[in-house]
Amino acid sequence: MILFILRGRQENGGTTAGKGTLAFASSSSLGRCLSRSRIYPEYHKKDLILHDGVKIGPAAVIAGADISYIRGSDLFFAAVVLLSDPDMQPLAEVHAVGRVSFPYIPGLLSFREGPVLLKAFENLQQVPDLVIFDGQGIAHPRGVGLAAHLGLFLDIPAIGCDKSRLCGEYRDPGPCPGDHEDLLYQGQVIGSVMRTKARVRPVFVSPGHLISLGRSREVTMRCCRGYRLPEPIRQAHLAVNRLRIASQ
């Protein structure tokens, strides 16, 4: 087993690898994803990669990733869906299934869900310009939530869009879609609590990798189509549940 020492360091609102404080164990899947060229043969298309301050082009591809499993079972189902931006039309869907033994520990979710998710990413034939994860970005006690962790491994711009809070304090955002409040943790703004739809609980948005908080919100809102969750996450969620049901 290899240990990677990573630290989520805020830089222009995003994260970069740095010397740091948080030790992440890598499974075989995590390790394999270190060699990106093996996963994505066409990774050289750097011009498609979004960095903060650069608008996502009309031909951009946004991915959503999620996990599902059966209670009492260690079998996990992962899916990554690719949607066109801004149309949100499905372009591709890949899966992975795997046994997971790492327990759920708040703050260490990426150890549990990361390996199977990355296994699904390996099946992609196209590099997404950005990934939205069903988890926190830098809104994490150590600054490295699932979206920040996997964004770093994949080296793709990533956003964390979660349904509930891990850490930080906030006030309820306004009632209109797009309304948002800061998520504060130890005197720092680590994310936004944003209303994506009227009369539903807000979501927790935070930068994962190579993107600012403001743009994270912007992309998240642009991906919303009348539901609480942005389409990439919603479609990924539907995909993993289809996969799980089909396996029973």
Partner DNA sequence: GCGACAG
Partner DNA sequence: ATCTTGTCGC
Q: Does 241 bind DNA (CB under 7 A)?
A: yes
Cα distances (Å, whole numbers) of residue 228 to 106, 163, 191, 198: 23, 9, 17, 9
Q: Tokens 């979206």 label which residue?
A: 147
- Residue 228: helix, strand or coil by DSSP? coil
Which positions from 149 through 208 interact with DNA, judged by CB under 7 A? 160, 162-167
CB of residue 146 vs DNA: minimum separation in angstroms?
Answer: 4
CB of residue 191 vs DNA: minimum separation in angstroms?
Answer: 11
Total number of residues shown for the chain: 248
| Cα–Cα dist 62/86, whole Å | 9
Nearer to DNA, 130 or 203 (CB): 203
Report the residue from 146, 152, 193, 210 that binds DNA according to the rule CB under 7 A: 146
* 134 close to 162: Cβ distance less than 8 angstroms: yes
Report the residue from 5, 25, 54, 70 that binds DNA according to the rule CB under 7 A: 70
Report the residue from 44, 46, 55, 71 that binds DNA according to the rule CB under 7 A: 71
Q: Tokens 């948080």 label which residue?
A: 22
Q: Does 68 bind DNA (CB under 7 A)?
A: yes
Paired tokens of 57: 């082009």
Options 8-16, 82-90, 103-111, 151-159: segment touching DNA (CB under 7 A):
103-111
Which positions from 120 through 139 interact with DNA, judged by CB under 7 A? 134-136
Sequence-ordered alpha helix ranges (H) in 74-186: 109-121, 146-154
Name the site residues for DNA (rule: CB under 7 A): 67-71, 104, 106-110, 113, 134-136, 140, 145-147, 160, 162-167, 240-241, 244
